[in-house]
């Protein structure tokens, strides 16, 4: 019951703001999994929820097909690199950096309009910046992934002249592409607990679809406040875990 409730909640949170892994990850640890096993199991478990979020936000993807064709391959390459980092290096150093990345992402979104002037204004500059944002986010997502949605929304909002709802839909696709890579890589090389996956994954599908439908109906300002607030909360939780 704990994992089912965590899966539904994580699916909703991932679709609306991102960061649902901070619900499922500790729940998997609470169910008795070691931390590394919980991390990779969590990455596989939340993937169906990302797919459901894409389905729920497909209306806001209209007109973005060409953009997706250019950035999804970048996200795949970045995610492979992130998975390799997770499986081949100690986690402690990155655990220390992660909270500051998340808090920085929330601050970036909060001060989006002021910071946008610092990013290139012409189309070529923004295309280059978009590729960098997508790649760096995918590396992070392949390695750890918690609050990936918050970070993607914050960074994409700086380099794209789109509504927050359309950026949120784009974030769902990128998160799903990163999630697909983690499923394939971890299924081959990592200690996944498939019993837990079979419990959590269907719950994230329900939560992801519902959350995406809710997000589409929220005014942009409300959605922005929710994402920033959740990002700050996630960052502080990770900071506490890293140092205390």
Under 8 Å between Cβ of 171 and 150: no
Phi and psi of 108, rounded to 5°? Answer: -60, -45
pLDDT at 14: 77
Does pTM top 0.95 for this prediction?
A: no
Residue 119 burial (CB < 10 Å; 0-12/13-18/19+)?
A: middle
Count how many domains the chain has: 1
pLDDT at 16: 76
Under 8 Å between Cβ of 77 and 138: yes
Q: Cβ contacts of residue 39 below 8 Å, gap of 6+?
A: 25, 86, 144
Distance CA 129, CA 226 (A): 25
Distance CA 219, CA 150 (A): 17
Residue ranges, the chain, pLDDT below 70: 17-18, 91, 115-125, 146
Distance CA 162, CA 173 (A): 15
Under 8 Å between Cβ of 186 and 79: no
Q: What is the pLDDT of residues 185-195, one digit of tens each?
A: 999 988 899 99
Q: What is the pLDDT of residues 43-67, one digit of tens each?
A: 899 888 888 889 888 889 988 999 9
DSSP summary character for residue 139: H
Distance CA 40, CA 189 (A): 10
Q: Which domain holds residue 160?
A: 2-243
């Amino acid at each position: 019951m704990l994992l089912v409730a965590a899966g539904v909640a994580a699916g909703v949170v991932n679709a609306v703001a991102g960061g649902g892994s901070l619900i499922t990850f500790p729940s998997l640890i609470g169910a008795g999994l070691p931390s590394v096993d919980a991390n990779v199991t969590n990455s596989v478990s939340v993937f169906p929820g990302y797919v459901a979020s894409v389905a729920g936000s497909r209306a806001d993807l209209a007109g973005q097909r060409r953009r997706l064709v250019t950035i999804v391959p970048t996200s795949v390459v970045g995610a492979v690199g992130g998975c390799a980092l997770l499986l081949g290096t100690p986690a402690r150093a990155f655990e220390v950096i992660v909270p500051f990345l998340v808090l920085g992402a929330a601050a970036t979104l909060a001060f989006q309009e002021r910071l946008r002037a610092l990013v290139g204004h012409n189309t070529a500059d923004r295309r280059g910046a978009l590729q960098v944002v997508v790649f760096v986010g995918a590396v992070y997502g392949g390695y750890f992934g918690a609050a990936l949605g918050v970070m993607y929304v914050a960074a994409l909002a700086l380099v794209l002249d789109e509504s927050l709802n359309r950026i949120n839909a784009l974030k769902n696709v990128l998160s799903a592409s990163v999630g697909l890579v983690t499923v394939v890589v971890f299924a081959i090389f990592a200690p996944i607990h498939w019993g837990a996956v079979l419990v959590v994954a269907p719950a994230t599908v329900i939560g992801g679809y519902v959350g995406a439908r809710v997000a589409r109906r929220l005014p942009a300002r409300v959605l922005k406040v929710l994402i920033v607030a959740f990002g700050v909360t996630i960052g502080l939780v990770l900071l506490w875990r890293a140092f205390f």
